[in-house]
């Protein structure tokens, strides 16, 4: 019996021209998350390979997972040039139905952010001296989301240096 070897142990640098999207990926990433993905790749590089299936007849690679990482390189010349037009690819060899299932598993396995954990992170960042602007820029939050997480924390200290609107005044008749 052949010993199993995970594809991640054989990453290949593939020219982006040889990579193509699949026709069945139901995943969509909103513009704010795409901006954050770009920032992540810009600052950290590609830390995860694109998962592909090799189409031998066409000498091309079809994406199973990683379409949005691929899209970042296609849309951003700075990333394309820095990476010499190549993406890290992990190749799987499965029939189409299994590739479709893999795509869904990869998408769903990413899960979602736990609100309580995000609230704790925001609290720690504020308490360590990070400004709201820094948090929004580096964590990929907008002002409303940051405010909601601060409110959920229940810590008045997160608002200590903020000025509040004086849009109404209570009469003390």
Give the range of the structural domain holding residue 121, as residue numbers without chain letter. 115-159
**Is 123 within 8 Å of 153 (Cβ atoms)?**
yes
In terms of domains, do 26 and 95 share one?
A: yes
Could you give the CA distance from residue 12 to residue 126 in angstroms, rounded to a whole number?
A: 41
In terms of domains, do 59 and 83 share one?
A: yes
In terms of domains, do 93 and 134 share one?
A: no
How many domains does the chain contain in total? 2
Quick: pLDDT tens for 152-173: 877 555 555 555 455 565 666 5
**Is 90 within 8 Å of 11 (Cβ atoms)?**
yes
Q: Is 126 exposed, middle or buried (0-12, 13-18, 19+ CB in 10 A)?
A: buried
In terms of domains, do 21 and 65 share one?
A: yes
- Sign of the alpha-carbon torsion through 160, 161, 167, 168: positive
Quick: pLDDT tens for 46-80: 999 999 999 999 999 999 999 999 999 999 999 99
Q: pTM higher than 0.85 for the full model?
A: no
In terms of domains, do 58 and 25 share one?
A: yes
Tokens of 83: 């990476």
Percent of the chain exceeding pLDDT 70 equals 87
Query: In this structure, is residue 2 part of a structural domain?
Result: no
In terms of domains, do 41 and 98 share one?
A: yes
């Amino acid at each position: 019996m052949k010993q199993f070897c995970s594809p991640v142990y054989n990453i290949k640098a593939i020219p982006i021209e040889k990579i193509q999207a699949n026709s069945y990926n139901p995943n969509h990433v909103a513009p704010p998350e795409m901006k954050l993905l770009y920032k992540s790749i810009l600052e950290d590089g590609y830390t995860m390979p694109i998962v592909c299936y090799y189409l031998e007849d066409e000498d091309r690679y079809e994406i199973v997972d990683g379409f949005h990482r691929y899209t970042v390189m296609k849309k951003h010349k700075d990333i394309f040039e820095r990476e010499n037009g190549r993406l890290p690819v992990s190749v799987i060899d499965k029939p189409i139905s299994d590739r479709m299932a893999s795509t869904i598993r990869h998408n769903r396995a990413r899960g979602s952010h736990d609100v309580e954990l995000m609230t704790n992170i925001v609290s720690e960042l504020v308490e360590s001296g990070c400004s709201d602007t820094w948090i929004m820029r580096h964590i990929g939050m907008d002002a409303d989301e940051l405010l909601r997480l601060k409110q959920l924390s229940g810590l008045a200290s997160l608002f200590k240096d903020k000025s509040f609107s004086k849009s109404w005044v209570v009469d003390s008749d």
